[in-house]
Structure 1
Amino acid sequence: MKKKTSYFMTALVVALSLVLAACSGSSEETSGSSTDKGSGESEKPKFISILTGGTGGTYYPLGGAFANIISQETGIETNAETSGASAENMTTLKDGNAEVAFSQTDIAAYAAEGKLMFEGTKIDNVQAIGTLYPETIQIVTTEKSGIKSVEDLKGKKVSVGAPGSGTNPNAEQILEMYGMTFADIEKKDLSFDESTAGIQDGTIDAAFVTAGTPTGAVEGLSATEDIVIVPIEQDKIDALIKKYPYYIQDEVAKGTYGLEEAVPTVAVQAMLVVRDDLSEDVVYDITKAIFENLNQVTHAKAKLIKAENALNGVGIEVHPGAKKYFDEIGVKAAE
C-alpha cells in the first residue's frame, strides 16, 4: 500500500511540474515584445527613425515633414534625424540603427551591389520605398572655354566631385558612354564650390555637378560668367539608362543660369529606402501616408514628388509593402 501511495505522489509531482512549465513558457512568449501585434504575423513598431542629411540640405526638412505625416497617419511615433546623407544612411540601416532613410538611387544601388565605396561591405537588408525628385548631373563650363560637347572634355582639366562623392561615378559612367575614361581628362577631385571657383579663376575648364537645379554654386558662377551646360546626346542617354537603371532622363530648363534653351542630360534621384525586416503592412502604411499627404509638405521639392513616378529609376528591389501600395493605385515602373 505504501509503495502504491509513493508511486501516486511521484506521478502527481511530475504532472504539476509539467503544468507549471507550460504556464511559464506561455507567459514568456506573450510578454517579451515591445511591438504591437497586428493582423497575422505583422508587427507594428511603436517608434521609427528617418535618416536624412545635414540641416542645410533638402533631405532634413523633407524628412521632418514625412515624420509628422507618418506619426499622424499610422500612429507610429516617427522622428527625423540628421546624418551624413546617402552613404552613411545606407550603412546605418545595415547596422539596424534606423528604419527608414533618404539616399540617392545610385548610392543605394552601389550599396546593394557592394561596389565602389561599399566594396567589401555589401548591404543586403535595405529595399526601396520609392523615388522622390531628380538630382541632375550638370556638366558645367563657360562660353570662353570653347567646350560644347562631352568629347571636347578630352585633355581638359575637369572636376569630377569631391573624393568619395556620388558625383565621381556619375562622371565616370557618362564618360564611359563616349568611350572615354578618367585617363582622357586631367581629373580634379573638387567640391562644387571649389569647382565653380576653379572655373572662374581658370584653374579648371569644366566640372561635373550632381545636384537639384538650380544649384547655388553654379548660380553664383553665372553672375560673372556665361554658363554652358554640356548636353548629353539621346543615344548616350538611352545607353546609360539601359546599363545603369538608377538614372533617368532629365534636362536643365531654359532660363536656368541664363540658358537660352533647355539642355538634355540625366539625373539620379533622391529616394526613400527602408530596412527589409519591417513588415509588409507597416511599409504599406508608411508609403500610403507619405504619397497621399504630400499637400502637407511645404518644401518646394514636394511639387516634384509624384506617386506615378515613384518606381522610375529605383535601381534596387522594392519592399513588398511599397509594391502593394503602388500596385493598388496602378503605378508601374517605366519601361
Structure 2
Amino acid sequence: MKKTLLRTTIGALMACAALPAMSQELPGTMVWTSYDVGSAGYAEASAIADAFGREFGTRVRIQPSGSGIGRLQPLLQGRADYAFLATEAFFLGEGAYDFSTPEWGPHQLRAIAGRPAGITLIAAGDAGINTVEDARGKRIAFVAGNPSVNVKCEAILAFGGLTLDDVEVVMFPTYGSAMSSMTRNESDATCTTPTTSQLYELAESPRGIQYAPLHADNDAGWEQLLEVLPIMSPSEEDVAAGVPEGEITLMAAYRYPVITTTDEKSEDDVYAFIKALDETYDLYKDGTAAMHRWSLDLSGRPAIDVPFHEGAIRYLREIGVWTEEDDAWNERRLARMNALTDAWASFHAENADMAEEDFSEAWMAHRAEVISALN
C-alpha cells in the first residue's frame, strides 16, 4: 500500500513538472480593454489573446471602446487586468487634456510593453516642405478634440524650432477629413503615421507627397521635441505611402498600442504576463503587418508613455534587453509622475470649488511649472 502511494505521488509530481510553467502562473481568465473593433489596437490585442489561449489555455475577454476614458475606467476600477492604450496612457499619467478635470488628474499607470509606430510631418509634394523648418507659415491640419494627434504634431514642429504661432493651424472636425485635406488642397501638411490610407491617395494625386525627416543625430531638434512630448524616439520606417520599396524615411516612434496596467498590479502577475507575451511571439507576430514589432527588444524599452512596471523590468533584465540607460530613463519618468501626483493632491484640495474649465486651465499651468522645476 505504501509503495503504491509513493509511486502515485511521484507520478503526480512528474506530471506537474511536465506542464508548462507559465500555464500555472497565468490566470485562467483575463479582461483586457482596447480600441474599437476594426482598429489596429483591437486586431493586435485579439491576436495576442488567441496566442495566450492556444499556448496556455487562458481565456481573454476584450472590451473595446472608442474613447480613452472607456478604455481606462475598467482598468482603474479593477474590472480589467490590462489595457491596450494609445497616448491617453501618457495623458492620464500626467493629468493632461481630457484628464485635467477635477474628476481625473494624474494616476499611477505602468507600462508592460508597447509596439513602436512611426510618425512625422508629412506634406503635399508641391508645398515646399522638405524639412520641418520649412513648415513655417504653412497650413498644418489638426483634428478637433484629438489631443493625441495634435500634441504629437506640436512636438514634431518643435523639432524644427517652430511653435503653433509659426504655422497656420487648420482645424478639421474628424481625423479622416484632416488626413485627406492635403489632397483637396485645404492644407499643406499634417502629422500622422506613414500608412494612413489617405496618404496613398495623396501620393497618387497631382500634389504628390513629401516626408520631413527627423534625423537621429539632430540633438537640438530631439531635445526640443522631447520637451513637448517625452515619449518618442528616433525611428526608421521602410513601409510608407509613396516611398519606393527598399527606401526608408526618418521619423519619430511613439507606442501604439501600449499594454498598460496600474502600479497596484503584482510584480509576479506582470512578470508572468510579459513572459507569456515573449513566449507566444511566434504565434502572433504575423497577425498584422506591424505585429513583428512586439519583439521585446523593440517593444520592451523606453521611450514609452508611462514608467515600466517592476514585473516587466525583472523579465526584461533576465533576457538581456533592459539596460542601465533604461533604468535611468525609468527613474526620471517615475520622479516626474510622482511629482505630478503629489502636486495634484494639494492643488485639488485647494481648488476643488473652481468651475471645471477654470480648474483645468489652472491645473495645466501648474503642471507646466512642476515639470519645469524637474528639468
TM-score w.r.t. the length of structure 2 is: 0.69
Q: Cα RMSD over matched residues?
A: 2.7
1:11-31 C-alpha deviation (Å, 9 max, x unpaired): xxxxxxxxxxxxxxxxxxxxx
1:246 aligns with 2:236: no
Equivalent pair of 1:52/1:83 in contact (CA under 8 Å)? yes
2:176 matched to 1:201?
no
Change (3 A) 1:107 1:324: same
After superposition, where does 1:130-209 map in structure 2 within 5 Å? 130-134=113-117, 136-190=118-172, 191-209=174-192
Cα distance in structure 1, aligned partners of 2:314 and 2:67: 27
Aligned partners of 1:305 and 1:277: how far apart in 2?
24
**TM-superposition CA deviations, 1:177-220 (whole Å, max 9, x none):** 433221222212234431343212222111122x3x42211112
Residues 183 and 91 of structure 1, relative CA distance in 2, 3 Å threshold = farther
Structure 2 distance, partners of 1:237, 1:192, is 27
1:270-317 deviation per Cα after TM superposition (whole angstroms, max 9, x unaligned): 221113333222211111111111111122222122112212212422
Which AA in structure 1 matches 2:309?
H
2:288 paired residue among 291, 299, 306: 299
Aligned equivalent of 1:230: 212
Q: Which has the larger radius of gyration?
A: 1
Pair 1:283 & 2:270 matched: yes
SS at match of 1:171: helix
How big is each residue's C-alpha offset from its partner over 1:93-136, in whole Å with a ceiling of 9 and x where there is no partner? 223331211123x43222111122321323424211112232x2
Q: Counterparts of 1:1-335 in structure 2 under 5 Å?
A: 47-73=29-55, 76-84=58-66, 86=68, 88-104=70-86, 106-120=87-101, 121-134=104-117, 136-190=118-172, 191-209=174-192, 211=193, 213-224=194-205, 225-233=207-215, 234-240=218-224, 243=227, 244-253=229-238, 256-258=241-243, 262-270=248-256, 271-297=258-284, 298-309=287-298, 310-332=300-322
**Does structure 2 conserve the Cα–Cα contact (< 8 Å) formed by 1:294 and 1:302?**
no
Which amino acid in structure 2 is aligned with residue 277 of structure 1?
Answer: E
Q: Distance in 2 between matches of 1:172 and 1:241?
A: 8
8 A contact 2:160–2:221 mirrored in 1: no
Q: CA deviation at 1:138?
A: 2.8
Q: CA deviation at 1:72?
A: 4.8
Distance across 2 between alignment mates of 1:95 and 1:145 = 48
Distance 2:267 2:113 in 1: 15
Q: What is the aligned residue count?
A: 290
User: Following the alignment from structure 2 to structure 1, what is the Cα–Cα distance between the partners of residues 251 and 33?
Assistant: 29
SS at match of 1:200: coil
Q: In structure 2, how many angstroms separate the alpha carbons of the residues matched to 1:184 and 1:171? A: 13
1:10-59, Cα deviation, whole Å (9 max, x unpaired) = xxxxxxxxxxxxxxxxxxxxxxxxxxxxxxxxx97553211111222111
Q: 1:245 to 1:326 in 2, by over 3 A?
A: same
Letter aligned with residue 208 of structure 1? C
Are the equivalent residues in 2 in contact too, given 1:162–1:189 (CA < 8 A)?
A: yes
> Is the partner of 2:261 in helix, strand or coil?
strand
* Cα 1:52–1:87 shift into 2, 3 Å: same
How far apart, in 1, do the equivalents of 2:278 and 2:225 lie? Answer: 26
Alpha-carbon distance in structure 2 between the residues aligned to 1:103 and 1:288: 20
Between the aligned residues of both structures, percent identity stands at 24
The answer to whether the 8 Å contact 1:153/1:185 transfers is: yes
State the secondary structure of the residue aligned to 2:48: helix
Contact 2:136 2:166 in 1 (8 A): yes
SS at 1:300 equivalent: coil
Offset at 1:73? 4.8
Q: How far apart are the structure 2 equivalents of 1:124 and 1:204?
A: 37
* Code of the aligned partner of 2:306: I
For residues 74 and 85 of structure 1, what CA distance do their matches in structure 2 show? Answer: 31
Distance 2:221 2:319 in 1: 29
Question: Which structure 2 segments of 5+ residues have no match?
Answer: 1-24, 327-375
AA matched with 2:296? A
Separation in structure 2 between the aligned mates of residue 90 and residue 287 of structure 1, nearest angstrom: 20
CA distance in 2, matches of 1:219, 1:109: 30
Q: Give the secondary-structure state (helix, strand or coil) at the position aligned to 2:130.
A: coil
| Equivalent residues of 2:155, 2:226 under 8 A apart | no
SS at match of 1:285: helix
Q: Is the 8 A contact 2:254 2:304 kept in 1?
A: no
